[in-house]
Amino acid sequence: RLAVIKKENRIEFTINEMSIFTYMDDGITCGALLDGGKIGFRQLAPLTAEYRNLRVYQIK
């Protein structure tokens, strides 16, 4: 199970509840802090993938 959690300037990726990558967005290196937008999946050819049970939640 993959989870991506964005809270304020912290972005964390987990697989089966184990943190695999955490990024602190400084608002300088890659431009302004992320504050909204869209979700996208990138996969390299020739991968064919299926996604199911996608859920998006807002953390308050």
Please give the full DSSP string across 24-50, using - where no structure is assigned. Answer: E--SSTTSSPP-S--------TT----
- With 80 as the cut, is the pLDDT of residue 22 above it? yes
> Does pLDDT of 52 surpass 90?
no
Look up the pTM and report it.
Answer: 0.66
What's the rounded Cα separation, in Å, for the pair 13 and 60?
18
Q: How far from 15 is each of 4, 11, 19, 46, 52, CA to CA, in Å?
A: 9, 14, 7, 23, 15
More confident residue, 49 or 14: 14
User: Is-contact 40 54, C-beta < 8 A?
Assistant: no
What average pLDDT does the segment 41-54 reach? 86
Task: State the pLDDT confidence band at 14, using cuts at 50, 70 and 90.
Answer: very high
In this predicted structure, what is the pLDDT of residue 8?
86
